[in-house]
Amino acid sequence: MDDVGHLWWQAIEGTLVLFFIGGVIALVLGFIVGAMRVSPVPIARAVGTVYVNWIRNTPLTLVMFFFAFCIPILLGQRINAIALATVALGIYTATYVAETIRSGVNTVPVGQAEAARALGLGFGQVMTLVVLPQAFRSVVPPMMSVLIALLKNTTVAAGFSVLNLGSVTAYLSEHRTATADNIFQAMVTGENQLLTLLLIAVIFVVLVLLLAWLQRVLERKWRVER
């Protein structure tokens, strides 16, 4: 029973690492790419567009496949599976973050940027003082949708030998020792895979609905009155 608890704990830890570290990578990279896509530098815009269109049209499974199997070959050394999966998840999600930021910037009325420019502010000042603070409000709800998708996508790492909530069932059935006495034990120890998977599905539904609720609260709080 101790083993089982340990496995569950590690699985939850894996999912959290994928979600939070992957999320940070996605937000930072996505912000940079989003900024590139609205920048006055044509080449930066082009690079941003190519990156977003390319990665968004690549299945996440393929991105992870590349990171999990090809990167270790290319770098010629073994790399922690969870680190590779996290980076893959971050790079994939960054494209959605970039698009969210770009369309957030685009929802700010033209007059705002024009007025700021008329006051003599430069591009950097227009962005940091006028456009981004307003864009932030309209970006938050769609950004929550991106994070919800990220949370669900952490399960894909299960296919690439990362212990997380997606793969805990397989690990449990490998480590099973004693037979279960009751139905609850059968669920937690992976004795009955259907129940274990249902439990995981319920965990995800609860987490996603929680994030969706948070999204609605934030949306109501920061609704743009225009």
Partner 1 sequence: MSSVLYDVPGPRARLRNRILGVVTILVVVALIALTIWRLYATGQFTAQKWSIFGYTTIWVRILEGLWHTLSAFIVAGVGALILGFILAVGRLSDHAWVRVPVGWIVEILRAIPVLIFMMLMYYGLPTVGIKVTPYVAVVVALIAYNGSVLAEAIRAGVESLPRGQKEAGYAIGLRKNGVLRLILLPQAVRAMMPVIISQLVVALKDTALGFIITYPELLYVIKLLGTQIQYGSPLVPAAIVGGSIYVALCLLLSYVAYRVERRTRRSPKIRQEVPAAGDGDAATVTEFIAVQKGVEGRKRK
Nearer to partner 1 by Cβ, of 57 and 177: the residue is 57
Token representation of residue 114? 């024009």
CB 4 within 8 A of CB 189: yes
Nearer to partner 1 by Cβ, of 4 and 130: the residue is 130
Binding status of residue 153 toward partner 1 by CB under 8 A: yes
The region of 1-9, 19-27, 80-88, 145-153 touching partner 1 under the rule CB under 8 A is 145-153
Binding mask 78-117 for partner 1 (x = CB under 8 A): ------------------x--xx-xx-xxxxxx--xx--x
Cα–Cα distance, 66 to 125 (Å, whole number): 40
Binding status of residue 76 toward partner 1 by CB under 8 A: yes
Q: Which of residues 155-184 bind partner 1 (CB under 8 A)?
A: 155-156, 158-159, 166, 169
Return the residue of 5, 59, 129, 184 that touches partner 1, per CB under 8 A.
59
Cα–Cα distance, 157 to 177 (Å, whole number): 26
Binding status of residue 2 toward partner 1 by CB under 8 A: no
Alpha helices (H) along 38-58: 42-56
Binding mask 22-51 for partner 1 (x = CB under 8 A): --------------x-xxxxxxxx-x----
Tell the residue number behind the tokens 């929802």, with chain if given. 107
Token representation of residue 72? 């270790």
Q: Which of 102, 214, 216 is nearest to 151 (CA)?
A: 214
Return the residue of 205, 214, 217, 222 that touches partner 1, per CB under 8 A.
205
Q: Which of 53, 22, 57 is nearest to 149 (CA)?
A: 22
Binding status of residue 145 toward partner 1 by CB under 8 A: yes
Q: Report how far apart, in Å, the C-alpha atoms of 170 and of each of 8, 50, 109, 180 are.
A: 12, 38, 52, 17
